[in-house]
Amino acid sequence: MMKFSVFNILLSLLFSINALAQYQLTGRVVTRQDSAGVAGCTIYLGNGNRSVATDSLGQFRFDNLSSGRYDLNTAHPDFKASKQTAIINGQDTQVTITLVSRTETLSEVIIKDQQSDFGFTRMRGVEGLGIYEGKKSEVIIPDQLVANLSTNNARQIYSRVAGLNIWENEGAGLQLSIGGRGLDPNRTSNFNVRQNGYDISADALGYPESYYTPPIEAVGRIQVVRGAASLQYGTQFGGLLNFVMRKPVTDRKLQIVARQTVGSFGFYNGFTSASGTVGKVSYYSFFQYKQGNGWRPNSHFTNYTAYADVDYHPTEKTTLGVDLTQMSYLAQQPGGLSDAMFREDPRQSNRERNWFKVNWTMPALHFDHKFNTRNEVNVRLFGLMAYRYSIGFRPNRVASVDDNSERDLIKGDFTNWGAEARFLKRYEVSGRQSVLLVGSRYYHGYNHSVQGFGSTGKDANFSFIDSEQAITSDYRFPNRNVSLFAENILYIGDKLSITPGVRYEYIYTTATGFYGTLTRDLAGNVIASSFTDEQRTNGRMFVMGGLGLSYKPTATLDIYGNLSQNYRSITFSDMRIANPSSLIDPNLKDEKGYSLDLGVRSVQTTLYNFDVSAFLLNYNNRIGEVQFYDANDRVLRRRGNIGRAVIMGLESYAEGDLVRLLNPVSPISGVLFANIALIKSEYRASEIAGVVGKQVEFVPAVNLKSGVRVGYKNLKASFQYTYLSDQFSEATNARDGGVSAVIGLIPAYAIMDASVSYELKRFRVESSLNNLANRAYYTRRATGYPGPGILPSDGRSVYLTMQVKF
């Protein structure tokens, strides 16, 4: 009997010891697309009392676990939520969790999970065939925003991107004009602007202005990578701005989304998309039509945009695709105002014969192949057939009454094509994974620009008059570009990575044509003319380098830094465009410099997100404008190399769901965000008198955007406050605009916006009230079209959108 009791006691002790034994549960979170590790993914254990975040390689670990069954739930802003069960049975256990990107079709359950996201994240260290480790980057997810998408309202859409200066002179969103860190916002010309990874500007090198902006309703993600993007994407100081269009749905043959918007000033927007997958073929397409009368008189516009993306998947590892984009719009332009005219009535217009017409056609082919989990390649072929025509009466004195004379007509035609190939390889060094990216690019651009006299009528007639003196300049600008680039992530331990990069560029530009000189009598009649032939060529080659660092002391924190060289070639408009209030220095030189970023950011969770960074931009041979007086005491502007500019500052962004930080299971969300940039800019060297020590143009010292978003289930509402301090429009910091109003102070302004949305099954209702206080303000003094002069921004406006999904 005693022996049996002892046996029972020993057996009980054995089971107790086994039950008290502690084990380790480790794992790795990877993407389904390419099996790459997912950093910053939060893993919740069981009921959520314990959680960890994955490191830079996607790895995680739970210690001190007993034997048993454990549910693992994942949360990441870029991937669908996932649940997986792990069983510990008397030994350490390892699991692999595979995540699916949110850009694929989302079920109703997943859409509810999205409500805790902010609509703003950043690029992963390796994403697609790109390397972004150690770089300052931002990603906007329009679907998660509570904003006015129908008008591409940039003030709301880009509100979380620190330090952006946005020009707002038309409320329809036909063109996007953003800049940052002292870079000219004009048609986003200081960013390398792309759609699905290929160029969409008029000419990526010679005329990098973007007359086409994708409808945000059709965009899945907007990727912004700052100056360090120059090594992978080209030689712009601003970096990369890439519009990633929506992807085809994969779980049905046909899905239709229809959106109808009406708003102030006769605004109407109709947007319809169709998407689906049939066998190995998937597609996404849309058609958009919008029209309106504008806030000011003489501001009517019509616009249509069509897009189709068809992808063929012969195997799981290979995709062949074709994109086609067609956009056209015609806009009447009310002209600019003088300072006195703006103070008198910012809505007035004294120009009814000014018109602007744009037509953009962009075909693109892409080939993606994944050899295995370590090696993949991408090839893109793209082209552009486009034109931009402008006609109008635009004297130097903007208050002048239109005398109904011949209008100034400028016609630009663009025919470009290019090819870009990338190869990404994952390999190991001393047991640590490294990532190598190499690529090449060829670009062929051709621009034909003609300027002269148009008709005396009021209509949108873009034909030159029948006269020997009708053409005042005629130039052809062919250019070639060949580039090679490479970047490599080297992981040193679990927390530190170094990313060196290099880029080789060969650029060859040509300008061939003639320009005319006209002599007029006191009545304005042409009494003599002469024409001068001109041919200019410029070939150059150079190498740029950069280095990125990333240190992750914890799984939720990233300390990053990057130093990269930048370069920007002179544009065609810098070479030869006749403007009654401007002269161009014939000895213009390319711009050179470097950008430095150093910051700390969170690896985003669904509850909070922040990025605080300091930057320095050293800008040599900066091209800009200065005011001077000619022999007749007329105030004119000279465009040329101003000198060396240094721009430095602090860019900070923070956002948090204050309600769910206190109660993670609350059905209510209360998100507060703040985005502030404090910038100091100065010209350090210049050969032009009165420039050294002056503030760099387009740099407000304070740039603040802040707001709140509340939500309950499918009801969301947002409020936003925007403030920018004073800024100047030219290098001598002239404050008085004079008769032309193209230079002078841009006064500080503060704007408020509010939006609301509600979703019920297949229906959604959205509404926005922009410029709540009906402030009269302006963000731009135009030097040419659509001015010249002050271009007032829109007053208070309201919009209502109805959406249905079939």
Strand order in the sheet with 93-99: 59-65, 23-31, 93-99
pLDDT score for 576: 57
Greatest C-alpha distance within the chain:
131
Beta-ladder partners of 651 = 613, 677
Phi, psi of 593 (to 5 degrees): 165, -160
Q: What is the average pLDDT value for the chain, to the nearest integer?
A: 88
pLDDT in tens, 497-526: 999 999 999 999 888 998 887 666 665 566
Whether 678 has a pLDDT exceeding 90, the answer reads yes
What percent of the chain is predicted at pLDDT more than 90? 61
pTM, entire model: 0.85
Q: What is the DSSP string of 484-503?
A: EEEEEEEEETTTEEEEEEEE
pLDDT score for 333: 95
pLDDT score for 696: 94
H or E stretch at 425: strand 408-429
| 660 vs 332 pLDDT, higher one | 332
And the tokens for 679? 């910038």
pLDDT tier for residue 15 given thresholds of 50, 70 and 90: very low
pLDDT in tens, 100-138: 875 443 333 333 333 346 788 888 889 889 999 999 999
pLDDT in tens, 702-720: 999 999 999 998 999 999 9
Whether 47 has a pLDDT exceeding 70, the answer reads no
**For residues 140 and 214, what is the distance between their CA atoms, to the nearest angstrom?**
14
And the tokens for 214? 């994708």
pLDDT score for 19: 44
And the tokens for 382? 């793209």
Over residues 165-170, the mean pLDDT reads 91
Strands 23-31 and 93-99: parallel
